[in-house]
Amino acid sequence: MSWLLLLTLAVIVFFNRYLFLEPKLPLRIPKLVREALSYSAPCLLIAICAPVILVDHGTLRPLPDNPYLWGAIIAVVIAYVVRHMLSAVALSLLAFYLLNWWMSAS
């Protein structure tokens, strides 16, 4: 995935959320559409992360030995338990690097 594509997706998400969810703008949208837009960031995040987690150079990573998949699962569990974003990110990164080191060493 190229940096240009990532930046383009970030700009699209920012303007999408800003234009439709900023209360100071005179644009009014129905509540149903506003609620649907609240799912746009998680959906794009999954679309960006899923290929990184599951694919390596055009082939599927082996599932039992995939440190990216285990790291993602551990990150979700940590985020659910900790509920503090900075701590969850730091612990998730630490867990992923330790897991990646352990799986590559064995």
Residue 42: pLDDT band (50, 70, 90) is: confident
pLDDT of residue 91: 97
Q: What is the pLDDT of residue 74?
A: 95
Is the same domain home to 37 and 23?
Answer: yes
Domain extent, residue 48, equals 1-60
- For residues 67 and 37, membership in a common domain is answered with no
Q: How many domains does the chain have?
A: 2
Q: 86 — phi, psi (to 5°)? A: -65, -45
Task: Please state, in angstroms and rounded to a whole number, the distance separating the CA atoms of residues 96 and 58.
Answer: 22
Confidence of residue 33 (pLDDT cuts 50, 70, 90): confident
Digit-coded pLDDT (tens) for 61-72: 988 889 999 999
Same domain, 8 and 54: yes
Residue 1: its pLDDT value, please? 60
